[in-house]
Chains A and B, each alone.
Chain A
Amino acid sequence: MVLRFAEHARAIVRQAEQEAEEAGSPVIEAEHLLLAMTGEHGSEARDVLASAGLDRDGLRAALDREFRQSLSAAGVTLPAGGLPRASGDPARQAHLAASGKVVLERAVKAAAGQRQIRPGHLLLGVLGAQAGTVPRALALAGVDQACLAARARQALERGRP
């Protein structure tokens, strides 16, 4: 059976490309998919993230902290105002990075046996990571990743047609 993306899930992947571009990244990472979820109104992914106090600004702040803290382990300190921005390529199409591909693979697995891949499945795909930027940022934000995944599963269960 071929799984299809629900409209909300498709919108998240599209928005993630935008997030990558805004972050100056040539590829779509897992964190860009997560950022996109915080803005997707009417999706269980956004609701679950909000229930943990994670809105777009909060998640961005956590990701920024993670970046700065990881750099500090190598003795690098960023200027307080952040880095200067380079001009982007308006015609560029961002591709999925390895971390982004894994999110989609996990989402497909999480949606097995169901009609569609929904935002909650994408969220489970992001939360399946054991290491990397997202788990570190969530820990810095004081969010319990396993608890968040459990809530995502509950929300999917409730919203099941």
Chain B
Amino acid sequence: MDVMEIRPDADPADALAAVAALRRLADQLEDVAVERAMRAGWGWPQVAEALGVTRQAVHKKHARRLIAAGVTLRRR
């Protein structure tokens, strides 16, 4: 990856589009990273703590799709 370089003088349209794209990217990366962690045997509390969100939030967001994908989920 290139060196992170935020351009403070970017055109407003480019700057706003960058924010929208980063949010989308973060969501996609979260889906992948949570799935990998749970497949590796992490529990919800650890994943939640690593993401800095509540256990309920991460469970609500990801549990159903991971169960559907056949990931064995640890209870604790």
Contact = CB atoms under 8 A, between A and B. Distances in A.
Interface string B1-40: 1111111001001111111111011011101101100000
Contact of B18 (A73, A87, A88, A91): A73
Given A25-B24, A133-B17, A83 B2 contact: no
B14 A70 contact: yes
Contacts of B16: 131
B48 interface: no
By secondary structure, the B interface counts as: helix
A58 interface: no
A39 interface: no
A147 interface: no
Contacts of B50: none
Contacts of B65: 86-89, 92
A131 B13 contact: yes
B73 interface: no
Interface in A67-81: 67, 70-71, 73-78
A75 B3 contact: yes
Interface residues of A, number: 27
B64 A92 contact: yes
Nearest to B16: A131
A83 B28 contact: yes
By secondary structure, the A interface counts as: loop
Contact of B20 (A25, A26, A70): A70
A76 B22 contact: yes
B31 A73 contact: no
B17 A136 contact: yes
B18 A89 contact: no
Nearest 9 A-B pairs (CB), nearest first? A87-B69, A86-B31, A89-B65, A70-B21, A75-B5, A70-B17, A73-B18, A75-B4, A74-B18
7 contacts: A24-B31, A70-B18, A73-B15, A74-B18, A75-B6, A90-B68, A131-B16
